[in-house]
Amino acid sequence: MRISNTLSGQKEDFIPQGDTVKMYVCGITPYSECHIGHAMSYVVFDVIYRYLEFKGYKVKYVQNFTDIDDKIIGRANNLGIAPRELAEKFITRYFEDMDALNIKRVDIYPRATEEIPQIITMVQGLMDKGYAYSTDEGVYLRVQSVPGYGKLSHQSIDSLLAGARIEPGAAKEHPLDFALWKRAKPGEPSWESPWGEGRPGWHIECSAMSLKYLGNSLDIHGGGQDLVFPHHENEIAQSECFSGVVPFAKYWLHNGLVRLGEEKMSKSLGNLITIREALEQHTSDAIRLFILSSHYRSPLTYSEEGLEAAEKGADRLRQAACVSQSSIPTPSVKEEERILCPIGSDSFRQRFIETMDDDFNTAQASAVLFDLAREINRAASEGFGVEKSQQTLRELAGLLGLTLEEREVHLDAAPFIDLLVSLRSELRKEKQWKLSDRVRDSLSEKGIALEDTPQGTVWKVKRAGSS
C-alpha cells in the first residue's frame, strides 16, 4: 500500500509502527446539525478503516468530540440552555446521522470535558519544559521555541505570520502563540487548574486524547484539509514538545472539502446541506457513491444532479447483486469458461485491491464495481450462474460501505406506481411489448418488482438479495 502523506508531500509506502495501526481522526464540535462536508470526511475515513481491516491490519481508531467551545457556549446562551445539554443533543444526532450513512463506530469517542485532568497534565508539562507561559488571559504555547514549526503546512513562521495578518495581543509574546488554557469568563463552564478556573484551548484537547489512548506516536492522523493549519500544525507542535517523541503522527491524511457553488460548505457560512436533508432525498449508498466517486484528497462540488446520477449508479449495483440467471438454458462448461474466465470475479477483486492500495483510490475502485456489475448482468442474461460474481460484488461494495439494499418506497408513491402498472397492462393488451417492458424495467430500477398473475399484475418492494 502507498498513501499520500501531507507531512512529506509525497506518496509513501504504508508501514505501521507496530502490530496495531493507531488511527486518530478529528471529530465534530457538536453545536448544530452535521452537513455533507462532515459526511465526506467520515465516509472517507470509514472506508480507510474498513480497508485496513480487510488487508489484515488490527486498527485502533479514536475520534473525539470537542464538547466545549466558544460556538457551543454562544449558541447555548442564545437558546437559553446549558452548553452540555446542547452538546449532548448534537452528539446524539451525530451518531444517528453516521448510522444512517452506514459508518462503522470507532473504538473510542473521547470528549474534551471528560479529559480535563490529562489536558492539565499536558499543559503543565509544556510549561515545565519552557514551551508555554501563563498570562492573565490563559496559558499559551511559544511557537518560536518549537523546532520545525510549519512543517505540516510547509510554511515558515514568517510566511505564516504574513499570511495570517494577526496583530500581537497584549497577553501574547508572539502573534502566532496559541492558547492551551483559557481563563474563565463570567457565566462560562470552567474547571479548576493551577492557572485558575478555565477551560482548554481547541488544539490541546486532541493532543491530550490521542496521547492518552494511542500513545506518543500515531500511525495515521486524519481530518479535512481545512484543519492542516492551524489545528494540526499546532497539534504536532504541542505533542512533540510535550513527549519528546518525533513524529507525533507518521502519516497525515486530509480529505478534500465539499463546495456548494464557489464556496466551501461550512456552518459558519451557513451554506450547507445537512446529512438529514440529503437522506430525505437519497439513499446512503447514493451519498457514499457520490462522495467516493472522486479521490478523497480532491474537492467535491455538491449538486443534486450528481447525487441523482449516484442514485442511478447505486440502483445498477443493487440490480446486479440481485439479478438471477435467465430462463435461457445453461451453456456447457466449455462455453461458460470461454465467456466468463477472461473477466472472472477474481480479476475484478484484484483490480479493486490494486486501486485501493494506490492511496485509497475509491473513484477507480467504484469503477471496478460497475464493470463487474455489467459483466454479471450480461452473464445472467445469457443463462450463466452468477452467484460467485455477485458474492464478490457484495464483498467489494461492502468495503466501500455500500449496503446494496433496495430503496424504501414511501406510501405517497403508491398511487403513481398503481398508475404505471395500469398503463403497462394497457400496453400489453395493445401488444406494445417494448413500451410495456420499459415501464417494468423502470419500476425495477426503483426497487419495484412486478408479478403477472391470473388476477392481474401486482407489485411489491424488492428486498435486498431478491430477484
Write down the residue that cell numbers 440529503 correspond to: 278
Using CA atoms of 59, 39, 285, 459 in order, give the dihedral in degrees to the nearest 10: 130
Please check whether residue 466 lies inside any domain of the structure: no
Reading phi first (left if > 0) and then psi (alpha if -120 to 50, else beta), residue 28 is in beta
Shared domain for 191 and 298, answered yes or no, is no
Shared domain for 117 and 133, answered yes or no, is yes
CA distances from 352 to 132, 355, 363, 414 (A): 48, 5, 10, 39
How far does CA 404 lie from the centroid of its chain? 18
* pLDDT, position 168: 55
Please check whether residue 127 lies inside any domain of the structure: yes
Shared domain for 36 and 180, answered yes or no, is yes
Q: Confirm if 163 and 155 have CB atoms less than 8 A apart.
A: yes
Helices (H), 186-232: 202-214
Give dist(CA 390, CA 376) in Å, integer. 7
> How many other C-beta atoms can be found within 10 angstroms of the C-beta atom of residue 122?
26
Give, for 452, the enclosing helix (H) or strand (E): strand 448-453
* pLDDT, position 340: 44
C-alpha cell at 129: 519544559
Give dist(CA 149, CA 176) in Å, integer. 11
CATH number at residue 267: 3.40.50.620
Give dist(CA 259, CA 108) in Å, integer. 30
Closest CA to 5 of 209, 152, 156, 107: 152
Shared domain for 17 and 33, answered yes or no, is yes
Range of the structural domain that residue 351 is part of: 284-399
Shared domain for 311 and 337, answered yes or no, is yes
CATH number at residue 379: 1.20.120.640
How far does CA 237 lie from the centroid of its chain? 26
* pLDDT, position 343: 47
Which residues of the chain have a pLDDT value below 70? Answer: 163-170, 262, 266-270, 325-343, 407-413, 454-455, 461-467
* pLDDT, position 342: 38
Shared domain for 105 and 243, answered yes or no, is yes
* pLDDT, position 261: 75
Shared domain for 316 and 241, answered yes or no, is no
Shared domain for 261 and 341, answered yes or no, is no
Helices (H), 293-386: 304-322, 333-340, 345-357, 362-381
Shared domain for 238 and 291, answered yes or no, is no
> Whole-prediction pTM value?
0.85
Domain boundary among 399, 420, 436: 399
Q: Confirm if 144 and 178 have CB atoms less than 8 A apart.
A: no
Please check whether residue 164 lies inside any domain of the structure: yes
Please check whether residue 406 lies inside any domain of the structure: no
Residue 18 CB partners (closer than 8 Å, separation 6+): none
- DSSP sequence for 220-268: EEEEEGGGIIIIIHHHHHHHHHHH--S-SEEEEEEE--EEETTEE--TT
Number of separate domains in the chain: 3
Shared domain for 364 and 450, answered yes or no, is no
C-alpha cell at 136: 492573565
Domain boundary among 234, 253, 281: 281
